[in-house]
Structure 1
């Protein structure tokens, strides 16, 4: 197992497959490190989030990808968004819709259940009930 993982890492480094990811990560970290406390607390285009909220979200998203890679590598279920409930609770009136299927998001990608629930909220302000789950292939709200 260790040799296989090491071999995969070496192959990815050799092909340069990780170069764009490493460059983006370095650029992001340089930008974050250059922020003052005041700037980190500044507004974004997604109120009420500050830049600090966005930075934290990016870090948690990276953690979620690591959990997915762990799941794929050792076949031990490690759901990617363990903090999703907490995130929904951070917003007044926040709601959480769980999607069980492939991909990062299902809205606008042909999943009828997700599209119906999200459109129901966006168009008709119909709240998504606590515990709501759409499974890949579900046909409606």
Structure 2
């Protein structure tokens, strides 16, 4: 039996449903990117980043998933500017079924560098980073 939170998460990602994605995020969600040391805090920046990543990734596919109560690990693959990447999304939910912690791990380093370059450019344009 599938976890209803995971069903909603897949719907938000696969259908690129920005409103549903935002609804799934707790106001104080902590986002841990593979490209920066300090986490990004809050719904606005996390929603912006996740929406941006959904736009950057090509051929995004989830493969395996592990669920332990409110904790989930989702293995994925995608391409960034033609470079294949693999990764893991680590998601923690609260009792209100909102995402409170989102951490991403990716490899290989050359795909991660392409991701960093693209994200930095978009975060600067979005006003979240100063150039």
Normalised to the residue count of structure 1, the TM-score between the two structures is 0.25
Higher relative contact order (CA 8 A, sep 6+): 2
Bigger share in helix: 1
Bigger share in strand: 2
Q: Find the structure with the greater CA-based Rg.
A: 1
Normalised to the residue count of structure 2, the TM-score between the two structures is 0.27
